[in-house]
Every structure is written in C-alpha cells, then in structure tokens.
C-alpha cells in the first residue's frame, strides 16, 4: 500500500497534473526531548504552542524558532490545545483527569479543572467562550454525577463552565448502544458555532450546543479518529479513509471519500490542518510521511519526508508561506515555499535625480528627505530592523541609484549592511522603497548608522506613493 500511494504522489507531481508552483522545502529542524502530540498557532500569529507525550507544553516564537516558555500540567500526553474565541486563553486536554486553562500570551496557568475522564481526547471552548466541551474515555470505575452512583468505565461527551471550581456534567452519552467498546477520539466546535462535532466509532456526532441535545449523527466508513472543521466544510479521517464533508441544507454530508492511508491497517492516526488560503490540506500517515492534498478534490499535491517517527500534527503560519510539522520523534520541522525565480521578479532600476545628486522620484514615487547625517568617511556599516511590531513589512534599499538590498522582510533581528558612498558628491541618498504596507501602514524600518565610534538611530517610513530617504552628507576631515 505504501508503494502504491507513494507512486500516486510521484505520478501526480511529475506528470504536472494538479500541481502547484510552490513546493515546500525544509528550512530548519528543532528537536525537543519528548514527542509532540499537539500543535496550534496562536490567533495573533506570533507563537506556536506544542503539547508533548510527557505532559510538557511549550510556547515557541516563530521568528526565532526558540522556546520562550515551557510548563507541565499533567503526567501523560497532551492530546489537545485549543484557543477560546477571543484568543486570550487556551485549554489543554489529555491524560490524568484534568483540563488546564492558560492565559495568553503570558502562558500563565489560570486554573485547573478536575474532570471525570482520565483519557481525554479533546477540549474546546463554545463559540461564546463560556463553556468547555470535552470527551474521551474513562478507564476506571468512577462516580456518575447524573445518577449519584459509581459506574463502570465508559465514554461520554462532557461540558463544564469555563470558570475555576466548576463541576462537569454529561452533555450526551448512549451507553446502551455502544457499551464499553466506544471511544471519543477527537472533537471541536464547527465554524458556525452551532454544533460540537466529535468522532465516535464509525459515526460523526453533531451535538446541538444551544438545544443541549444530540442534533444528528452521520455514519461513515471505518473507525473515525480525527476531524478539522472550517467554514462550510469538515475534513474527517480514520481507518485509511479521508473524507470531505460539506454543509447542505443545514446539515453536513459526505461529498468525497478517498483511500489515504499508506499501508493496510493504518487508522489515519494524525491530525489535519487546512491552510488559510484554502490551497493545502495536510495529513500524516503511519509511514512517518507528511501528505499535502488539494482540499477541494482530495488529490495529492506533495509528499515530504524527514520525520523518523509518526508525523502527528501540523500548522501553517506566516500567511501560509511556512508549514510546521511535528511528530513523535520530538522534531519540529519547518518547511517553506521557495521565492519565485529572479527572472519573474521585475527589476527596480528607475531613479530620477535632480541637481546635486538629489533623487526626486523612484519608480514613479516621490522621494521625501526625512533625515540627514553628516559623515566623514566613505565606508561604514548600517543596521536595519523593526523596532516596533513585526507586521510583514517588505522593503528594498537604494543608495545613489544602486539597489543594495531587495525584497527583504524587516524583522526584530538587526541586519548589518556595509555601504560605500560616493566621496565625490555631497549628497548620498539612502531610499526606503516599500514593497507592501504589511499589516500596519505605513512601512517602517529602524536604521542605525555606525560611524566614527558613534551610533545614529532613526526611523524611515514609506508607503506605496512616497518613499522616505536618509541623506549621508559627506564632509571629509
């Protein structure tokens, strides 16, 4: 089966049928001591949070790819990490009979909830953030809050108020049908906020949150394991079948099903992620590979290798230009799409000068002098960085008509550039040319000039109509 699926990926990619120009390539690898079970991108897009097999939770800075905070709230696997709608809290679920609610971005543990479910597969906030739903299975004899009695192990969907000290109650359970063989393996609130959707054996369960009852069930092939809800769609897989569901007349229905496992006996044991631009759906498989699919047709796009154990969970970040994969080998692998070939990028060459080497326009944009520094030597270093909010600003720098930096995204880390000015002229203009406006207009960059043992710090700003400039006025000693 693995050879067949791998051949299918190769055939699609090499034949040119249904491929994309940008293929993901490995950029970096980070390794933790414990395998990674869950991974989520924070709503502000600044950090990733990983949940590990040993109960550790790590918050990663996605600019430096370093762990900025590490905590541990349980002795077993962290199966799920999901944010509240406001993006200010996240809840962790897993082994040990507890839910951990954390503040974001501080990562401070706000409170723990003790729950009657020691193998907890997921926990999710309701659309209003007031309720936490969770489910899994309990392996021990425990107390039934509804019947005020002890009962044998079973699985159920639970709910609890999202506040310290709250007690759980059963939202739905039908033990008479499933008995002890059932288990809830994954769940989340659908994009509409109406249903808590979860997998249970061979059915997808739709619990009506406002009605506090089971809305409907959808029988499917195989034993279901994981689901990913997006607007108007749900992706579900397990027991080798990958399914695309679409919302029709108020209910979800299966639109397409494919055989997506890599070998006979696989259970679709990985999470899934859909890129925000709707171009890529990512799953793992029992062969440790990462599979990228067309989310509309479920046709294969690319298969990437690198994990030495199960590739379990994934996330897109940085406007879908970066894919992060994580697995039981403890690796956080960072994949990126290559930049377009240089011959497809228009070359920026037009600078119009007035007298005394003063630029008046660059690529049909006005040039605005914003600062002047007097220098006494023709060569020195400058540093470029973003001293405020990193929001995706991309720039090019032009000095005396020459492009000394092109298509550079400004980040917190300082970029040092050695520059040479023209000692034969008094004015040497460094122009900041904005390639975009980032998330916060205008485009800004901090500039530090290092000369004669002194540091000069200033900020240049540009937009899509006007370019800011710094003049190095040359006065030799």
Q: How confident is the model at residue 257 (pLDDT cuts 50, 70, 90)?
A: very high
- DSSP conformation class of 63: T
Task: Among 150-159, 237-246, 306-315, name the most confident range.
Answer: 306-315
Output the CA torsion 399→401→402→408 (10° steps): 70
Is the predicted pLDDT of residue 2 greater than 50, yes or no? Answer: no
Token pair, residue 50, equals: 């990983």
Q: Going by DSSP bridges, is the β-strand pair 184-189/394-399 parallel, antiparallel, or unpaired? A: unpaired
Domain ranges within the chain, ordered by starting residue: 2-336, 342-474
Token pair, residue 426, equals: 């008094």
- DSSP conformation class of 427: E
Average pLDDT in the 33-52 region? 96
Q: Please tell me the predicted confidence (pLDDT) of residue 86.
A: 93
Q: How confident is the model at residue 1 (pLDDT cuts 50, 70, 90)?
A: very low
Tens of pLDDT, residues 140-166: 555 556 667 655 567 889 999 999 999
Decide if 49 contacts 58 (C-beta within 8 A). yes
Is the predicted pLDDT of residue 272 greater than 60, yes or no? Answer: yes
Token pair, residue 477, equals: 């000693």
φ, ψ for residue 309, nearest 5 deg:
-145, -175
Which residues are within 8 A (CB) of 267 and not within 5 positions of it... i.e. 6 or more apart?
Answer: 222, 223, 225, 238, 239, 240, 261, 286
Decide if 206 contacts 220 (C-beta within 8 A). no
Report the share of the chain in percent with pLDDT over 90.
51
Tens of pLDDT, residues 321-363: 999 999 999 999 999 976 555 555 455 567 988 888 899 999 8
Mean pLDDT of the chain: 85
- List the 25-31 sheet strands across, edge first: 25-31, 331-336, 322-327, 311-317
Q: How confident is the model at residue 129 (pLDDT cuts 50, 70, 90)?
A: very high
Q: Which residue matches tokens 């409907």?
A: 216
- DSSP conformation class of 183: -
- Longest CA–CA span in the chain (Å) reads 93
Superfamily name and number for 2-336? YVTN repeat-like/Quinoprotein amine dehydrogenase (2.130.10.10)
Average pLDDT in the 215-225 region? 90
Note the pTM of the prediction, 2 decimals: 0.67
Tell which phi-psi region holds residue 448, choosing left (phi > 0), alpha (psi between -120 and 50) or beta: beta
Token pair, residue 125, equals: 């906030």
Tens of pLDDT, residues 427-466: 999 999 988 876 666 878 888 888 777 888 888 888 888 9
């Amino acid at each position: 089966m693995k050879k067949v699926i791998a051949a299918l990926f190769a055939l699609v990619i090499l034949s040119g049928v249904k491929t994309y120009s940008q293929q993901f390539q490995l950029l970096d690898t980070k390794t933790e001591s414990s395998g990674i079970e869950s991974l989520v991108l924070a709503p502000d897009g600044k950090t990733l949070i990983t949940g590990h097999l040993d109960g550790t939770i790590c918050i990663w800075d996605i600019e430096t790819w370093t762990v900025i905070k590490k905590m541990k709230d349980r002795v077993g696997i962290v199966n799920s990490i999901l944010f509240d709608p406001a993006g200010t809290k996240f809840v962790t679920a897993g082994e040990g009979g507890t839910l951990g609610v954390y503040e974001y971005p501080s990562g401070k543990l706000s409170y723990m909830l003790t729950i009657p479910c020691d193998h907890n597969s997921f926990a999710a906030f309701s659309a209003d953030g007031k309720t936490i739903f969770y489910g899994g299975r309990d392996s021990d004899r425990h107390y039934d809050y509804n019947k005020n009695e002890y009962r044998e192990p079973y699985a159920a969907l639970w709910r609890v108020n999202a506040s310290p000290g709250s007690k759980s109650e059963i939202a739905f359970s039908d033990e008479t049908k499933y008995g002890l063989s059932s288990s809830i393996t994954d769940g989340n609130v659908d994009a509409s906020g109406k249903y808590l959707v979860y997998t249970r054996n061979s059915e997808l369960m739709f619990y009506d949150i406002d009605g506090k009852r089971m809305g409907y069930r959808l029988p499917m092939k195989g034993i279901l394991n994981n689901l990913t809800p997006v607007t108007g769609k749900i992706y579900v897989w397990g027991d080798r079948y990958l399914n695309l569901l679409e919302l029709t007349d108020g209910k979800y229905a299966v639109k397409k099903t494919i055989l997506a496992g890599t070998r006979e006996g696989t259970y679709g044991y990985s999470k899934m992620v859909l890129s925000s631009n709707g171009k890529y759906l990512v799953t793992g498989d029992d062969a440790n590979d990462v599979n990228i699919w067309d989310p509309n047709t479920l046709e294969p796009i690319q298969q990437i290798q690198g994990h030495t154990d199960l590739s379990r969970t994934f996330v897109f970040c940085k406007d879908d230009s970066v894919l992060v994969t994580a697995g039981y080998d403890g690796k956080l692998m960072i994949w990126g799409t290559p930049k377009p070939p240089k011959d497809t990028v228009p070359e920026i060459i037009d600078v119009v000068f007035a007298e005394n080497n003063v630029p008046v326009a660059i690529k049909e944009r006005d040039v605005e002098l914003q600062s002047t520094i007097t220098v006494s030597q023709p060569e020195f270093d400058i540093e470029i960085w973003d001293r405020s909010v990193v929001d995706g600003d991309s720039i090019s720098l032009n000095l005396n008509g020459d492009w000394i930096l092109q298509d550079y995204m400004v980040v917190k880390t300082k970029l040092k550039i050695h520059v040479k000015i023209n000692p034969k002229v008094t004015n040497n203009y460094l122009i900041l040319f904005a390639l975009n406006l980032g998330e916060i207009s205008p485009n800004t960059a901090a500039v530090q000039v290092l000369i004669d043992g002194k540091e000069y710090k200033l900020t240049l700003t540009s937009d899509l109509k006007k370019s800011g400039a710094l003049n190095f006025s040359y006065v030799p000693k």
